[in-house]
Amino acid sequence: MNEKENKGGNNDEPNKKFSIWDLPDVPMGQLPPHLQLQKTRVVCKADAPIHTDNISYSGAYASIGVDNSVHLDLFRDNFKVNVIRLTKEDMEFDMIGIDPALANAFRRILISEVPTMAIEKVLIAYNTSVVQDEVLAHRLGLVPLKADPRLFEYLSANDTPNEKNTIVFKLHATCKRGERRTVYSEELKWLPKGSELIKEAGQADSKPTTYTSFTCSQDMLPEFSEDPISPSEDKIILAKLGSKQVRIFLLLQNC
């Protein structure tokens, strides 16, 4: 190769090998930029977030004079919560200056410890649709309900379902021959007087036993008389029925 060809075809620069000696010097007591990014930022990639793990060892960066121990005063000064959006249905907020592990702990606490009303028990009297009973029961458990959990009591294992700890819904959907239809959440009917499904048949002179025992109707209570209990959204698809498919459900929702 002559000198002219060497000058004209010099494309070796992009393939230059990386050397650690080419990195700029970092003052003692500071983290290099790539370690600072890993320590302080969670980066959302297309497939998954990165830098979600924490280095908890206090002496991890001792060789460069950086103290990695946790200081409560420093955490209190740097931690901030900014509320981005707050409505009756949801809340969006940013937690700044917190490790991903602690942020995930807050998420788990919100899921497990904040009381919510949801369908817990599904009693199926008749179901001839293509959706299996257990699949439909799980789907119904995801329907959000417009009911304040602060107005109810927790139902323990030894308690009897009553108007203070239980909400009852009923779903009766049919499809005529030669037709198809979609079953929406708006067809969930609130039963303020409790269950209509008989658990045990009583004597001829006694009242049959149902799955709930309400002493009074829930719609007579002042907190529900003007704001009846119902699904939060009316157009949530529960299932689709084909010709002559029938389903009847009694739904028990417990605090």
- Tens digit of each residue's pLDDT (9 = 90 or more) over 187-209: 999 999 888 777 766 565 667 77
Mean local confidence (pLDDT), 43-53: 89
Give the residue-averaged pLDDT of 28-49.
88
The answer for residues whose C-beta is within 8 angstroms of residue 82's C-beta and 6 or more apart is: 93, 94, 96
With 80 as the cut, is the pLDDT of residue 251 above it? no
* pLDDT at position 10: 52
Residue 255: predicted pLDDT: 47
Retrieve residue 21's tokens: 């000696």
pLDDT tens digits for range 137-192: 999 999 999 998 989 988 888 888 888 889 999 998 888 888 888 999 999 999 99
Tell me the residue type at 125. A
Residue 140 CB-density burial (10 A; 0-12 exposed, 13-18 middle, 19+ buried)? buried
Count helices and strands in the chain by DSSP H and E runs: 6, 14
Q: Which CATH architecture has domain 121-254?
A: Beta Complex (2.170)
Q: 253 to each of 33, 149, 152, 200, how far by Cα in Å?
A: 53, 11, 11, 20
Residue extent(s) of CATH 2.170.120.12 domains in the chain: 121-254
Per-residue pLDDT at 41: 87
pLDDT at 198: 75
Both tokens of residue 170?
């009923």
